[in-house]
């Protein structure tokens, strides 16, 4: 009788570990701590997160199902790469799904739903005022605010897909964070969205939310262009320096 109970306990512990490392790894990917394209070596991850190979593989498989991680043919895992084309497609899909979810939420939401949006926005705004740049508490409250907007949508399939797209877009937002601080009034955007949603101005709310998402995608593309330009400049400088060295040594 003791053995089955022990096995059940071991399984529960393993599941808890897998969930814990899944959440930590997911956060590191979404926040850009682990860069797109970076290989996820089991030995390195075991040391980093202090868990065994089994819960790590379970976590990686779950992240793969969310398209945050991809398997390389018999060579393990890596963080899914982001291209400009994928980024634009993601932004468009997010606008489509969010429009459906928001229209349904406004149509079905009651006073309690409105109050939750106001409360979520108040907490996000307060954290924004106190924080110097994005922090994990702000990330959590930002997610809660956007989830509150569509919480009254009656389709859990749409809400779940919306959350998956939010995860994918979160990585994109971190690419644009540096430019956002100087070029965007994110706090004002959230205020305007909340006002439109709670006053049941459906068309305006959809438009504001779509612009909110599109701005993030546009800034992420600019950040990617800047990164590509910096990398190209660095390569040109290295080539120039190598040419100078060869010229001094008389070898070409």
Q: What is the pLDDT of residues 153-190, one digit of tens each?
A: 999 999 999 998 988 887 777 766 555 555 678 899 99
**pLDDT the model gives residue 140:** 87
Q: Which CATH class is domain 84-226?
A: mainly alpha
**pLDDT the model gives residue 1:** 46
**pLDDT the model gives residue 251:** 47
pLDDT band for 208, please (50, 70, 90 cuts): very high
The pTM score is 0.70
Which residue intervals of the chain bear CATH 1.20.120.530? 84-226
Which residue intervals of the chain bear CATH 1.10.10.10? 2-79
**pLDDT the model gives residue 231:** 37
Write 177-184 long-range contacts (CB < 8 A, 24+): 177/133, 177/134, 178/223, 179/219, 179/222, 179/223, 180/216, 180/219, 181/133, 183/219, 184/215, 184/219
**Mean pLDDT for the chain overall:** 80
**pLDDT the model gives residue 182:** 57
Please state which of the four CATH numbers 3.40.630.30, 1.10.10.10, 2.60.120.260, 3.40.605.10 is assigned to the domain occupying 2-79.
Answer: 1.10.10.10
* pLDDT for 107 beyond 90: yes
């Amino acid at each position: 009788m003791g053995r089955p109970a022990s096995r059940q306990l071991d399984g529960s512990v393993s599941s808890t570990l897998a969930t814990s490392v899944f959440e930590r790894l997911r956060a590191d990917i979404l926040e850009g701590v682990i860069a797109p394209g970076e290989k996820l070596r089991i030995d390195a991850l075991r040391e980093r997160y202090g868990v065994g190979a089994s819960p790590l593989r379970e976590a990686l498989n779950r992240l793969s199902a969310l398209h945050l991680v991809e398997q390389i043919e018999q060579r393990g895992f890596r963080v899914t790469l982001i291209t400009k084309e994928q980024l634009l497609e993601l932004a468009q899909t997010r606008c489509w799904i969010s429009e459906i979810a928001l229209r349904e939420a406004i149509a079905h939401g009651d006073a309690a739903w409105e109050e939750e949006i106001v409360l979520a926005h108040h907490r996000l705004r307060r954290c924004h005022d106190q924080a110097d740049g994005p922090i994990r508490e702000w990330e959590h409250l930002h997610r809660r605010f956007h989830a509150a907007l569509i919480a009254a949508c009656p389709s859990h399939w749409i809400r779940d897909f919306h959350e998956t797209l939010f995860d994918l877009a979160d990585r994109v937002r971190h690419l644009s964070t540096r430019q956002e601080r100087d070029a965007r009034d994110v706090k004002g955007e959230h205020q305007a969205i909340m006002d439109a949603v709670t006053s049941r101005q459906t068309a305006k709310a959809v438009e504001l939310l779509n612009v909110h998402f599109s701005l993030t995608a546009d800034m992420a593309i600019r950040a990617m262009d800047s990164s590509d330009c910096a990398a190209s400049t660095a390569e040109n400088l290295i080539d120039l320096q190598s040419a100078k060295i060869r010229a001094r040594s008389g070898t070409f």
